[in-house]
Amino acid sequence: MAVNIVPVAELYEGVFCSNQPDANEESFKNFLSTVTVLDITEDVAKRYGEERSKLLNTGNLIGALDFLNALTARTHDLVLLTSDQDFTRIEGLTVRLG
């Protein structure tokens, strides 16, 4: 299983906004030790720029961080697990809603 660095950053925000940041950080680090964390590569950045420019031209936007997460999954040929229907609009991305 892999997780993109973008949701890792978002989850760290939740850790430090919580009532128990130390305990939650330890739990989160334990989780991270069981998965591969994917960095944002130049290839991902290029694909992001290409695809986001298309969305900007059509006015059919998806949030920047969500889109970066999606393009990372697509670049690595991974399935994106999400509850957000917006991801189904991204061409070539395999999405599992749950």
Torsion of CA 9, 11, 17, 21, to 10 degrees: -100
Same domain, 6 and 44: no
Domain identity same for 16 and 49: no
pLDDT tens sequence across 25-64: 999 999 999 999 999 999 999 999 999 999 899 988 899 9
Which range marks the domain in which residue 14 is found?
1-38
The tally of domains found in the chain comes to 2
Residues 55 and 76 in one domain: yes
pLDDT (tens digit, 9 = 90+) per residue, 2-18? 999 999 999 999 999 99
Q: What's the rounded Cα separation, in Å, for the pair 78 and 75?
A: 8
User: CB–CB of 72/4 below 8 Å?
Assistant: yes
Same domain, 1 and 34: yes
- Does 25 lie in the same domain as 6? yes
Rounded to two decimals, the pTM is 0.83
